[in-house]
Amino acid sequence: MHKRLIAFLAGCLLVLEIAPSEAQQSAANNVSREQSKLLLDFPGLEEAQERYDYLGWDARYSVERHYAALASKSGSYPRAQFNLRQLAPMFLWTTNTIDESYVKAWPFFKDGQIQILQSASPVTSNYVQILTFKADNVECVALSVRRAASRNDSQTELGTLAFDGFYCPAPGRP
């Protein structure tokens, strides 16, 4: 009996040792392209500045976050920035909608003017939402890929992965 209790306690201590601390949760850890779970490859960004971050778990330990960005070395465009989010077991995405406020939430667009060219489709797809917009006379696309749960959805093992972000080509490129 005591041996089982000691083994159980040792297992608990091991779990506590490897769980990230509060400070680690909010800090971005720059990782190499090889270490990243999210890789980007877009036209015009073959020689771009790259950034790959592991953002860790949120404060509630409900979602693990990864980030990747490609930016032109010669100016603001072309540019691509995306998030990859993996929900913890027993959590579900409840919405999958992108709009102007989603685009403006990206620091790159925060202070600029954007014009919505085509709104994201109505919620006819629980998986993919696409929004086209113009920023600085460049036509861009924002997208969100995630499976939003339906009202009575109990399949938490499905649809826990989400991918969202934007891509803007070089000025004058479609």
For 113-126, what is each residue's pLDDT tens digit?
999 999 887 655 66
Give the number of domains in the chain.
1
The model's pLDDT over 6-52, given as tens digits with 9 standing for 90+, comes to 232 233 322 222 233 333 344 579 999 999 999 999 999 999 999 99
Confirm whether 6 is domain-assigned: no
Instruction: Give the torsion through C-alpha atoms of 168, 104, 146, 29, to 10 deg.
Output: 80
Confirm whether 154 is domain-assigned: yes
| Domain around 72 | 24-168
Confirm whether 10 is domain-assigned: no
Rounded Cα distance, 102 and 127, in Å: 17
Confirm whether 133 is domain-assigned: yes
Confirm whether 44 is domain-assigned: yes
Confirm whether 17 is domain-assigned: no
| pTM, 2 dp | 0.78
Confirm whether 16 is domain-assigned: no
SS3 string, the chain, reads: CHHHHHHHHHHHHHHHHHCCCHHHHHCCEECCCCCCCCCCCCCCCCCCEEEEEEEEECCCCCEEEEEEEEECCCCCCCEEEEEEEEECCCCCECCCCCCHHHHHCCCCCCCCCEEEEECCCCCCCCCEEEEEEEECCEEEEEEEEECECCCCCCCCCCCCEEEEEEEECCCCCC
Rounded Cα distance, 72 and 53, in Å: 18
Confirm whether 57 is domain-assigned: yes
The model's pLDDT over 69-94, given as tens digits with 9 standing for 90+, comes to 999 998 899 999 999 999 988 888 87
- Which of the four pLDDT bands, split at 50, 70 and 90, describes residue 174? confident
Any idea what the Cα angle at residue 48 is, between residues 70 and 56, rounded to 5°? 35
